[in-house]
Amino acid sequence: MKLLLRFFLFRFSLLSLLALLALATCPARAADSAAPAAPADPLATLRAGHPRLVFTPQEWAAFDQRVKNRKQDPQFDALLSQLENNARKLLDRPPLGYKKIGYRLLAVSREAFRRITTLAVVYRATHDEAFARRAEKEMLNFAAFSDWNPPHFLDVAEMTAALAFGYDWLHDSLAPESRAAIRKAIVEKGFGEGLDPKLPRNNWQRLENNWNQVCWGGLTLGALAIAEDEPQLARDTLTRARAGIVNGLKPYAPDGVYPEGPGYWSYGTTYQVLVIAALESALGDDWGLPRSPGFMESAKVMFQLTAPSGYTFNFSDCAPRRLFEPALYWFAKKLNTPALATPPISDAETTRFLPLVALWWPDKGLPATKTAPPDMPLAWKGEGINPVAVFRSSWTDPNAMWLAVKAGAANANHGHMDAGSFVFEADGVRWAIDLGSQDYESLESKGLKIWGRQQTSDRWRVFRLNNFSHNTLTIGDQLHRVDGRAEFENFWLTSLDNPLFSTGVTVNLLPVFAGQATKVKRDFVFRSSPSNSFTIEDRIKGVAPGTEIRWAMATKAQVQFYDDKYVANSDGKDIHGKSALLTQDGKQLRVRVKVGSGDFINAPPIGLTVYKDVSPISVNDENQGFEAIPADPPKNDYDALNPDTRILIVRVKVPASGNVRIIVLLQAEEHEVKITSDDGHIRTIRQMQGMDKFNP
Ligand SMILES: [Zn+2]
């Protein structure tokens, strides 16, 4: 066992130390991020002729070559077949009408993007006129819309991008009058009343979120596509875009954690990549945008945020399923890291950016095996608007233990009241879940104004968005403070030689409980002992006696409670209490809770200090307890259903001291494993599933 442990420690520590060194070098990189000076004429270096958007004529020539030799690369051949199939299906589909959902035309704009780019790429691959004519018909249909819905400007931006690509990629095969009609539509419906920042519809220009990226992205693509015919509009757009687009890049700083969650990383970053690639291909100048702090690093962060199951840490407005991200193919090339380009997944047909993959395809094909990018640490933390820490026991084992936790503030764009919340996997099961976002229209149609970010905003009446649904603490049945920002205080990793190895992070949650407590710290600790478990320890002080503190964890597992004798106190006596046994997919997880009062050591629980508490409080009496409450039916008629979901809750009534300590041990099932020790003896040990890769 010791040998096994030492090996594990070595692997864990070495990789993690490398990561810490990498983190330490980040600020130096930030210093050289100043954008180069803008030339007097933003169009001075405009590439003449078409195509010039995102891909250069050389890249199209390489694409032609790849198409010619498609049978030599079965994965590229499969991608192209998929695109051809998608394009064929479009040939006899009815044209789209001007149909809004609520106040958004966005679904139509996105389908326009998918249709036009798919048809254009397949035409370039097959030279079959039917695809070019259908793309032309699609563009003329959208060009004839009365408008592209400027009050919700994302819709305009994505439609402008769609027509810009079709216009540029198919330029020479479009009829001159079609080109004129498309240009006119881009000018009148894309730019409309212009870019005056005082116009309400243009409020995205300075926003530091995905709107800035998508809207500047769409308009920049539009301006570059028609620049020779509309030079003044193009110059004006490029000048303003250069000044405004830096705002959308600020949230990546310093470490690449996108504060709006993995889903919006995908949206904002894809448009950011399109702009950068289009500036490079059309002007030969990326404006220094890729050097914005954290931007290039954000591609690897997506792998940190992806659990062994393949699902993501879905904080903020985000679903857990990881999207297929064509933009990663661009990052793979730029960073010379082929492993960033993961194969297209089954839902790729509906991914409107799929045609881009055919052009960004790696010269040497996809990597033979699906591996994580190299040099990825097992314990990692990223700072920023929404700091995140992630711990895992392996990068390759689907049964590995994985925990991700976030700090930050609820008033970030698309934010939830989820400071201190975590998602946990072990044995291939996601035991602790985040319920994710709720469909916006389902709330807006019932009159909720979900985009306010004040303490009293409707947004916080929604169960999935407030602290009551998240795996965090609630004090006195109150909402978190919307403007309180939780921060990481410690992120530690004990040395290789420490027999009480641990790694973890402390979150200072006091800002979200301002006025309710004098101290709220939450420690996440991964220890080698007992039995490679994860501990979540809350240290709370200065709460009014009698107040209820609620500890919560949402789960899809079946929950049974049982009487347990689970930890030895510092005086050597066992504690008796109630534990929960979670069962899902034939696997089990024990959730063991200990609640204490009185004073306690004011230090992060490095090593095994965790059980040296005094004055345990029973969680079994009538006022306090450990229970599992079904998430359905929801409290309000506007809340989404959460089928087959329970919230595991520990309730603690604050004692006279005002201090409470809650220790929860998440302990995955142990399995008997045979190992061969140095002296040749085969023996059986019990260890967690997924730890066998650490066998020497
Ligand atoms: Zn959430």
Q: Cα(407) to centroid of ligand 1, in Å? A: 12
pLDDT of 604 reads: 42
Q: Are 545 and 424 contained in the same domain? A: yes
pLDDT at 694 over 50: no
What's the length of the chain? Answer: 696
pLDDT at 194 over 70: yes
Across the chain, mean pLDDT equals 86
pLDDT of 562 reads: 81
Q: Cα(575) to centroid of ligand 1, in Å? A: 34
Q: Cα(379) to centroid of ligand 1, in Å? A: 22
Q: Cα(409) to centroid of ligand 1, in Å? A: 12
List, in sequence order, every beta strand (DSSP E) within 476-586. Answer: 487-493, 502-508, 519-527, 534-541, 548-555, 558-568, 574-584
pLDDT of 594 reads: 79
Angle (CA) 547 550 551, round 5°: 145
Q: Cα(467) to centroid of ligand 1, in Å? A: 8
The pTM for the full model equals 0.88
Q: Cα(234) to centroid of ligand 1, in Å? A: 40
Q: Cα(664) to centroid of ligand 1, in Å? A: 21
**Domain-terminating residue out of 360, 395, 410:** 360
The CATH number for 631's domain is: 2.70.98.70
The C-alpha atoms of residue 194 and residue 196 are separated, in whole angstroms, by 6
Q: Cα(475) to centroid of ligand 1, in Å? A: 18
Q: Cα(381) to centroid of ligand 1, in Å? A: 19
Q: Cα(552) to centroid of ligand 1, in Å? A: 13
pLDDT in tens, 356-380: 999 999 999 998 876 678 888 889 9
Q: Cα(647) to centroid of ligand 1, in Å? A: 14
Q: Are 461 and 576 contained in the same domain? A: yes
pLDDT of 625 reads: 78
Strands 422-426 and 402-406: antiparallel
Q: Cα(303) to centroid of ligand 1, in Å? A: 19
The C-alpha atoms of residue 467 and residue 552 are separated, in whole angstroms, by 9
**Domain annotation covers residue 525:** yes
Q: Are 534 and 649 contained in the same domain? A: yes
> Domain range spanning residue 94?
55-360
Report which residue type is found at 485. Answer: R
Q: What is the domain count for the chain?
A: 2
Q: What is the mean pLDDT of residues 153-174?
A: 98
pLDDT of 499 reads: 62
Neighbour-count burial for 269-298, b at 16+ CB within 10 Å, e otherwise = bbbbbbbbbbbbbbbebbbbbbbbbbbbbb
CB 219 within 8 A of CB 190: yes
> Is the pLDDT higher at 457 or at 397?
457
Report which residue type is found at 369. Answer: T
Q: Cα(436) to centroid of ligand 1, in Å? A: 5
Query: In whole angstroms, what separates CA 207 from the centre of its chain?
Result: 19
**Domain annotation covers residue 37:** no
pLDDT at 547 over 50: yes
CB atoms within 10 A of CB 374: 10
List, in sequence order, every beta strand (DSSP E) within 347-471. Answer: 379-382, 388-392, 402-406, 422-426, 429-432
Q: Cα(315) to centroid of ligand 1, in Å? A: 5
DSSP characters over 2-49: HHHHHHHHHHHHHHHHHHHHHHHTHHHHHHT-PPPPPPSSTTTTPPPS
pLDDT in tens, 230-286: 999 999 999 999 999 999 999 999 999 999 999 999 999 999 999 999 999 999 999
The C-alpha atoms of residue 605 and residue 628 are separated, in whole angstroms, by 28
pLDDT of 323 reads: 82
pLDDT of 162 reads: 98
Q: Cα(435) to centroid of ligand 1, in Å? A: 6
CB atoms within 10 A of CB 614: 13
Q: Are 349 and 392 contained in the same domain? A: no
Q: Are 182 and 233 contained in the same domain? A: yes
CA neighbours within 13 Å on the CB side: how many for 19? 26
Q: Cα(447) to centroid of ligand 1, in Å? A: 21
Q: Are 399 and 547 contained in the same domain? A: yes
pLDDT at 532 over 90: no
pLDDT in tens, 300-322: 999 999 999 999 999 999 999 88
Q: What is the mean pLDDT of residues 506-530?
A: 90
Tokens of 258: 């996108």
Query: In whole angstroms, what separates CA 61 from the centre of its chain?
Result: 35
pLDDT of 612 reads: 43
The two most distant CA atoms of the chain are separated, in Å, by 88
Q: Cα(15) to centroid of ligand 1, in Å? A: 30
pLDDT at 177 over 70: yes
The C-alpha atoms of residue 553 and residue 14 are separated, in whole angstroms, by 32
Helix or strand (DSSP H, E) at 139: helix 129-143
Q: Cα(319) to centroid of ligand 1, in Å? A: 9
CB 630 within 8 A of CB 646: yes
Q: Are 180 and 279 contained in the same domain? A: yes
CB 489 within 8 A of CB 521: yes
Q: How far is CA 685 from CA 263, 390, 528, 673, in A?
A: 41, 28, 15, 5
Q: Cα(298) to centroid of ligand 1, in Å? A: 20
**Domain annotation covers residue 115:** yes
Report which residue type is found at 436. Answer: G
**Domain annotation covers residue 695:** no
Contacts of 203 (CB under 8 A, 6+ apart): 197
The C-alpha atoms of residue 399 and residue 409 are separated, in whole angstroms, by 32
Q: Cα(523) to centroid of ligand 1, in Å? A: 20
Q: What is the mean pLDDT of residues 576-598?
A: 83
The C-alpha atoms of residue 407 and residue 409 are separated, in whole angstroms, by 7
**Domain annotation covers residue 261:** yes
Query: In whole angstroms, what separates CA 391 from the centre of its chain?
Result: 16
Q: Are 566 and 437 contained in the same domain? A: yes
Confidence band for 37, pLDDT divided at 50, 70 and 90: confident
pLDDT of 602 reads: 44
Q: Are 408 and 473 contained in the same domain? A: yes
Contacts of 99 (CB under 8 A, 6+ apart): 105, 108
Tokens 């539509």 belong to residue: 185
CB 569 within 8 A of CB 615: no
Confidence band for 193, pLDDT divided at 50, 70 and 90: confident
pLDDT of 329 reads: 96
The C-alpha atoms of residue 219 and residue 159 are separated, in whole angstroms, by 10
pLDDT at 548 over 90: yes
Q: Cα(480) to centroid of ligand 1, in Å? A: 13
Q: Cα(174) to centroid of ligand 1, in Å? A: 47
DSSP characters over 588-635: EEEEEEEEE-S----S---TTGGG---SEEPS-STTSEEEEEE--S-S
pLDDT of 695 reads: 26
pLDDT at 10 over 90: no
Q: Cα(666) to centroid of ligand 1, in Å? A: 21
**Domain annotation covers residue 369:** no
CB atoms within 10 A of CB 309: 16
Q: Are 243 and 168 contained in the same domain? A: yes
pLDDT of 502 reads: 75
Q: What is the mean pLDDT of residues 26-49?
A: 70
Burial class (CB in 10 A: 0-12, 13-18, 19+), 118: buried
pLDDT of 222 reads: 98
Tokens 């033979």 belong to residue: 368
Q: Cα(313) to centroid of ligand 1, in Å? A: 9
Confidence band for 679, pLDDT divided at 50, 70 and 90: low
**Domain annotation covers residue 633:** yes
pLDDT in tens, 65-122: 999 999 999 999 999 999 999 999 999 999 999 999 999 999 999 999 999 999 999 9
Q: Are 8 and 90 contained in the same domain? A: no
> Is the pLDDT higher at 316 or at 680?
316
Q: Cα(411) to centroid of ligand 1, in Å? A: 13
The C-alpha atoms of residue 662 and residue 647 are separated, in whole angstroms, by 17
Q: Are 435 and 533 contained in the same domain? A: yes
pLDDT at 436 over 90: yes
Q: Cα(464) to centroid of ligand 1, in Å? A: 6
pLDDT at 4 over 80: no
**Domain annotation covers residue 380:** no
pLDDT of 617 reads: 57
pLDDT at 7 over 50: no
Q: Cα(649) to centroid of ligand 1, in Å? A: 17
The CATH number for 125's domain is: 1.50.10.100
